[in-house]
Chain A
């Protein structure tokens, strides 16, 4: 049975003691169909094996007083509510920590500005600073504990991170100050300063920076939140002839689902009953609603506009197109383009290098600095540790990718990974497949030029009846055209297909002949006066065919695959952006030339076999172009794979997600220009971020070490360094957020 899973993974809530394990396992094992149940008490999860429905397992757990929920190991769809709640708690904690630290830091800062340097000379001053030192320790404990614990754990793990720098910086300032308080004689008179205000202010500023960063980060995931928000929470299914409202995760394969007008489609399925129009714009970017009736596919997350429908669920949970799209966007958002690799390498060595620079800086001051050298050494070492910001460097690329990929998804462009994003920004030549990419991919009858015949309908009826025996795509266009006009097809006899020429048959005692000029010549049909008409149709990118009845030409029927309404403007957009556009087609030269001309393309290759498409890509690459290849993803697969960036054109929501670097969810070629525009904007944003982060660190660290002191007498305060560090990563996230305002050009 399809609706029964062999393995289940559940999260158990309310299991507070180890003795619960036996109870829960027992209850699950007692459920019909369960072969085994094993609970992991450490992470409160249970793995159940057996052919059984998940909801039965949940019921079994609930019956003994616990709660269970299925763990979706794919994490394709999860709600952002939990994440937002967790982020909110973290934000509040950070703000509380900020205010605790500020309540000590600000008065100390004011004191240092108003009264002057915080020196320790008299015993009263020693006592007073001792109290302040203890208060600062309190701030370090309550507001900065996470830095110290994190630093210690990393240290034990032979790694170092931002916590390490903050803990060392603030710790050094505090320890030095306490040495001055307890043993002032150990340091020269001029160096008897305390730096408690630096410790308190750095902790407060960095907590504040983290809090603001959380807020800003929330905005970077807006696109994915919107996609997740498309998922309905509940579904109405028909079970045992009754309507039941259930949670979306409980919908099973083959369930019959009911959707009323105004409701969202809950899972993917095929319409069983009813007729409606569905708004799929949220997934495809296509603004026009799509008509759906029996046998048509519906997709989760789209909006049912007009009628009530019943449909059979064909894909549920993580298998729905929406879940796959979300999964793909999430994966792409977390992948890195090659441009970010250097920053990664630097990040890996960054913190220990800064620690070494800090020591070298202290040694330089001790050896060559003016008096009090020890005080200068402590200030510069602390400032170096605090100003360095590996986070800005580490955040530069992922934050922009997160926003850029999300922005593309909003426009119906699915970018597979960071590498595709980066390469798409560099495309110099774009190859477009003709059929289905530039054109609709569905040939239609465009002209019927009457010769001997007088009734167009009769011509279409006879021609369609004859062609109903053929499987040729052009023949199907004629049959469909007749059916659209409710023309009844007649019975044919003695059907014969003459390969390369056309077809012949008898119908109602009439001898019918349909095909090209060669066939007509072969059968001795007189085409006088009509060859020119056929040629002029061919020049309009149409394929003309002759239809003869009883040895006389009855009509010319022309079939064409129309160019999509917005292909011309989209191609122009690409060309305006300096991209060389090339068309490939298997069609004959005349039709190819006509389509290319109509579409505004000057370069084209006609009569290209599917297997030769990849060779054309290779030729262009060898000539130094960065090549994008756009196709429907079916017979273009080798060319798509070989191209620097392969673009698959999805038809509606039937997306070939795994087949290309970039998938366009709607048929419009504007998706290409959008994809390239968003890639360029994202890469520009990443470069700004990386530049900012590099310059900040490269300039900031020597500045903090006191390189300006010998020339201008300037030495940076650790408090200023703390503020700069906290806000440098915030700046990166905010700059990435600017991408949210990016809009693809008018189309």
Chain B
């Protein structure tokens, strides 16, 4: 009985942690943000920018995995190859308010750009 309860609690925790929890956003004050691509994640992965100013996303890829080599922002029709150990810039102008997801080809690396 106890083990079943434990299992259900674990399932609830998985649902909460991966789907329901909303992480804090990194608010971009100036016009650029450096995003590190390393160990399977973008850091920061949740970014908030203002619609009134252009923003430059600077991706620094330190992850050798080929999964890390492409960044896609489907809602903005953007895809870029990220070179290893170099910064790749994506400058976004005239963003309209809303959320833009960015991810790798397989959606294993994921992040979101919130424009307010």
Mark each residue of chain B from 75 to 91: 1 if its CB lies under 8 Å from any CB of chain A, else 0. 00101110110111101
Can you list 27 A-B pairs with a CB-CB distance of less than 8 A? A40-B34, A43-B58, A75-B83, A86-B84, A146-B39, A149-B39, A150-B39, A151-B40, A153-B38, A153-B41, A154-B40, A154-B41, A157-B41, A159-B45, A160-B18, A334-B72, A334-B79, A334-B80, A336-B74, A344-B107, A351-B18, A352-B14, A352-B15, A355-B14, A356-B14, A360-B11, A366-B3
Cross-chain contact B19 with A352 (CB below 8 angstroms) = yes
- CB B46 to nearest CB in A, in angstroms, measures 9
Residues of A within 8 A of B89 (CB): 9, 71, 73
Q: Are B105 and A158 in contact (CB under 8 A)?
A: no
Q: Is the Cβ of A163 less than 8 Å from the Cβ of B40?
A: yes
Q: How many residues of A contact B (CB 8 A)?
A: 62
Which residues of chain A are near B3, meaning CB under 8 Å? 363, 366
Q: How large is the interface on B (under 10, 10 to 19, 20 to 34, 35 or more residues)?
A: 35 or more
Q: What is the 8 Å Cβ interface bit string for chain B, positions 39-79, against chain A (1 contact, 0 not)? A: 11111010000000000001010001110011010100101
Known contacts A146-B39, A334-B79; is-contact A75 B72 (Cβ 8 Å): no
The winner among B65, B70, B91, B109 for most chain A CB atoms within 10 A is: B65
Q: Of the listed stretches A56-64, A389-397, A609-617, name the one at the interface; the rest are far from the partner chain.
A: A389-397
**In the bound complex, what is the Cα–Cα distance between A344 and B65 (angstroms)?**
20
CB of A83 within 8 A of chain B? Answer: yes
**A394 lies within 8 A of B86 (CB):** no
A161 at the interface (CB under 8 A from B): yes
> Do most interface residues of chain B lie in helix, strand or loop, or is the interface mixed?
mixed
Q: Could you tell me the distance between the alpha carbons of A340 and B10 in the complex, rounded to whole angstroms?
A: 31
B29 in the interface (beta carbon within 8 A) = no
Please tell me which one of the listed residues A82, A348, A395 contacts residue B105 in the complex, with CB atoms under 8 A apart. Answer: A395
- Expressed in whole angstroms, the minimum distance between the Cβ of B23 and any Cβ of chain A is 5
Question: Are B18 and A352 closer than 8 Å at their CB atoms?
Answer: yes
Q: Is the CB of A159 within 8 A of B83?
A: no
State A348–B34 Cα separation when bound (angstroms): 24
- For B4, the closest partner residue in chain A by CB is A363
Contact, CB under 8 Å: B17 / A158: yes
Interface of A is mostly: helix
**Nearest CB of A to B54, in Å:** 13
A360 and B34 contact, CB distance less than 8 A: no
A359 touches B10 (CB 8 A): yes
**Interface membership of A480, Cβ < 8 A:** no
Closest Cβ of chain A to B36, distance in Å, is: 9
A535 CB–B CB distance under 8 Å:
no
- Interchain CA distance A87-B66 in the complex, whole Å: 8
Does A398 touch B at the CB level, under 8 Å? yes
The answer for the CA separation of A355 and B109 in the assembled complex, in Å, is: 18
| Contact A348-B107, Cβ < 8 Å, known A11-B86, A75-B81, A90-B64 | yes
Most chain B beta carbons < 10 A, residue from A43, A214, A349: A43
Contacts A163-B40, A359-B10, A359-B11 given; indicate if A335 touches B84 (C-beta within 8 A).
Answer: no
Please, which residues of chain A bring their CB within 8 A of the CB of B34?
A: 40, 42-43
A337 to nearest B CB, angstroms?
12
**A417 → chain B closest CB, angstroms:** 8
